[in-house]
Amino acid sequence: MTLNKFNLPDVGEGLTEAEIVSWKVKPGDAVAINDVLCEIETAKSLVELPSPFAGTVTELLVPEGVTIDVGTAIISVSDDVSGDPTPADVRAPEAPAQPLYGKLPASDGGTTGSAQATESALAGGPLVGSGPKADAVKRRPRKASPASALSPNAPEVEPVQPHSPAEVTQSPGQATSPAAAVDNRPTLGGTITGLVNRVLAKPPVRKIARDLGIDLADVVATGSRGEVTREDLVSYQAQRDAELDKADGFWGKAGKPQDQRIERIPVKGVRKATAKAMVDSAFAAPHVSIFVDVDASRTMEFVKRLKSSRDFEGIKVSPLLILAKAVIWAAARNPSVNATWVDNADGTDGAEIQVKHYMNLGIAAATPRGLMVPNIKNAQDLSLKELALALNNLAVTARSGKTKPAEMQGGTLTITNIGALGIDTGTPIINPGEVAIVAFGTIKQKPWVLDGEVIPRWITTLGGSFDHRVVDGDLSARFMADVAAILEEPALLLD
């Protein structure tokens, strides 16, 4: 038997550390190559790690919630495969039909002396449902050992028709399924009840509950299949806070010890990476910021026409799409804003400016995990419709926490849409490795002088920050004026 250890890999260029968020396996599990072992949180995203080995999990070397360096051993897998790791959907046609979660061993009348064999019978039967969900997302099949099925950290299996405790614990004569039949074994009664009564929740929800110190069993579940949702946790936490301190609300009572009135939040993951990047950028690149008010009334009319167009049916269209196209157009007229300042590696003279003849357009996105800046590769080659689809996909992926590290690397110029939060403008900090960023303020009706008359128009304010080592004042002004010109007259994009 060979024991293989899997070290934490670099899942993105330059990754130095990651946190183990949740394990998807447990000692004793049989795994195949590419089965998901665990979920890790890198500096920018959640990533699932597939197994490079086939065999049996012998030990989890790092507990959940611990941050470790790349190259650290996290799990050991022996090449001694317990059971049949062959996925259910690729079994030979002549194989007899098996229950949903594996086959039950031959009955020994409840007299087996091996606890492991007994628990295998438990895991083999369809204790948690009679079949897969009709609308379930297809996942990579893996036959989990009983330890995995009963582990509080194992991935959840959502039941379609779960057995109630009464059904599972009925007398042997009334048993109507393998799950009920195993109740003949008195030593398993508590285990069966624990499995059936286990609270359903997805791994991210479990992590939030763990961080907040919430017992999921105390939370009222409102999910469509009886699972605890993120909203349930928020509601429970609010209620718990109100019960603990109704009078003070957010503020702690004056009579409490000081350490009970201070909330301490570890700086790690996305927040740690964002803090380092912003400090490096703010103190390495001399920022200069300029602002311009823009009459975006024609942009609003253009967006309205796009929304009613059959070509854009089913595609979310917003003024951000026009701004993105405007930034690409203006950068082509002012190439030095789409560049990078590169210092000599040894610190000596010889720095250079690298002007990029392609646009990887970054979009700053506020997500539940913090600020992310994924970028649209080669945005200059996309049509207006293709750019709209790319923006929609980028936003959905970022907010669901599925953005990959590669999608946040190689950006050349960034847009931050602070207007989505109702903010007029701001002084954004340049994304490291770039020399320009544009802040897009909210668009709202204001009095505007047009042809000598004061009339209501849709007005926005653009704010731009530039690395003054690369972009001089006149260049930044010309670039911002070009962006503003497109918002004032989108027809210029036809040139």
Any idea which residues carry the catalytic annotation?
A: 468
Residues in the chain: 495
Say if residues 56 and 29 touch (Cβ distance below 8 Å). Answer: yes
436-440/413-416 β-pairing: parallel
| Nearest-angstrom CA–CA distance, 491 and 322 | 11
Q: Is 81 helix (H, G, I), strand (E, B) or coil?
A: coil
Sheet holding 36-41, edge to edge: 46-50, 36-41, 17-23, 67-69
73-78/287-295 β-pairing: unpaired
Beta partners for residue 63, in sequence order: none
| Nearest-angstrom CA–CA distance, 399 and 254 | 38
What element of type H or E holds 435? none
Residue 269 class from Cβ within 10 Å (0-12 exposed, 13-18 middle, 19+ buried)? buried
* Buried/exposed code over 299-308 (b: 16+ C-beta within 10 A; e: otherwise): bbebbeebee
* Buried/exposed code over 14-51 (b: 16+ C-beta within 10 A; e: otherwise): ebebbbbbbbbbbebbbbbeebbbbbbbbbbbbbebeb
| Nearest-angstrom CA–CA distance, 295 and 312 | 25
| Nearest-angstrom CA–CA distance, 98 and 125 | 9
- Reference 202, options 155, 164, 169; nearest CA is 155
- Spatial neighbors of 188 by CB under 8 A, at least 6 apart, are 118, 119, 122, 182
Instruction: Extract the tokens encoding 376.
Output: 């649209």
| Nearest-angstrom CA–CA distance, 367 and 348 | 40
Say if residues 410 and 354 touch (Cβ distance below 8 Å). Answer: no
> Residue ranges of the alpha helices (H) in 125-156?
146-150
Say how many Å lie between the first and final Cα of the chain, rounded. Answer: 69
444-450/453-467 β-pairing: antiparallel
Instruction: Extract the tokens encoding 495.
Output: 């040139």
DSSP letter, residue 220: P
Say if residues 483 and 325 touch (Cβ distance below 8 Å). Answer: no
